[in-house]
Amino acid sequence: MAKIKKGLLTIAIGKKYITQAKYLAYSCMLHTPHTVRAVITDNPTLLSGYYDILIPYNPEYGDPFAAKTMLHRYTPFEKTLYLDADSLVMTGIDSYWEVLEDRSFAYTGELIKNGEWYFDIEKIMDKLSLPWIPKLNSGMLLFDTGEKSKAVFDTANDYMQNHDELAVPFFREKMLPDEPYFAIALAKQGETPYADHGRFSRTLIGADHIRLDSIKGFAFFIKKGEQVFPQVVHFCGRFGQFFYLFEKIKLYFCFNPPVKVFFNGIFSVIRNIVKK
């Protein structure tokens, strides 16, 4: 089956992430309605109408973190913007596709050569003969279907499958995080972070002077002394979830006006009374 030229992809496995994926879809409907949306999910019925393409989750590809290292096999697109489900699109994303004219795989982050991040950086660099490690947030990945991107995903998956070699701690004692394996794969392939000047995706971790409006399409905050105006905000972490709650409320009432919600609630009560 021929792939679609470009589109947005997310993963929603489990009730919590399905709910998050709905809000991500709402933000896309507002700010990039022409972008084709696809979701990998274990319950397609709940996301019908929110996403154009519903992709069944394949348990053989592993848990949701492991599934991220298999995105090149899941994606229906030639050019893919992957976003974690707890992200919101704050403005148009057409500029993303231009990045893939010069490279096959793009992400934001910084190169580090020492310290601790999932593991001892210097120790892993020496062990694997790496010049640096990219510290990234894998909540946004931009990639094409070329061999370079395939090599990144395959290498990340190979290291994840042989995780005992690196002794990466399990996330909440259940799943292995994907980020350290992507970091190693990207270093192996020589894929450095894309210099986006604070315009692509950012998390709210370590941010201050935060100004967000998912309806008007505006995001501004200061992170590590840099003013950023991200097109996508990734609301990971407890601090991010606090702001995420307010943006979800805005989006909910944007698509479900209060009067409509009120009367739907009344009709729901009446239907339950009638059924009894």
**Distance separating the N- and C-terminal Cα atoms of the chain:** 50
CATH class of the region 4-275 = alpha beta
Which tens digits make up the pLDDT trace of 118-173?
999 999 999 999 999 999 999 999 999 999 999 999 999 999 988 777 778 776 66
pLDDT of residue 175: 83
Q: What is the mean pLDDT of each run of 10 residues along the chain (276 residues)?
A: 91 96 98 98 96 95 88 96 98 94 94 94 94 96 96 95 79 81 96 94 95 96 94 94 95 81 54 53
Return the pLDDT at 174: 75
pLDDT value of residue 169: 75
Specify whether the CB–CB gap between 42 and 57 falls below 8 A. yes
**Sequence spans of domains, the chain:** 4-275
The secondary structure of the chain as a DSSP string is -PPEEEEEEEEE-SHHHHHHHHHHHHHHHHH-TTS-EEEEES-GGGGBTTBSEEEE--GGG-SHHHHHTTHHHH--EEEEEEE-TTEEE-S--HHHHHHTTT-SEE--EEEE-SSEESEEHHHHHHHHT-S-EEEE-TTEEEEESSHHHHHHHHHHHHHHHTGGGTTPPPBTTTB--SHHHHHHHHHHTT-PPP--TT-SEEE-TTEEEEEEETTTTEEEEEETTEEE--SEEE--HHHHHHHHHHHHHHHHHHHS-HHHHHHHHHHHHHHHHHH-
Average confidence score pLDDT of the chain: 91
Query: How high is the pLDDT of residue 173?
Result: 60
Q: Are 77 and 9 in contact (CB under 8 A)?
A: yes
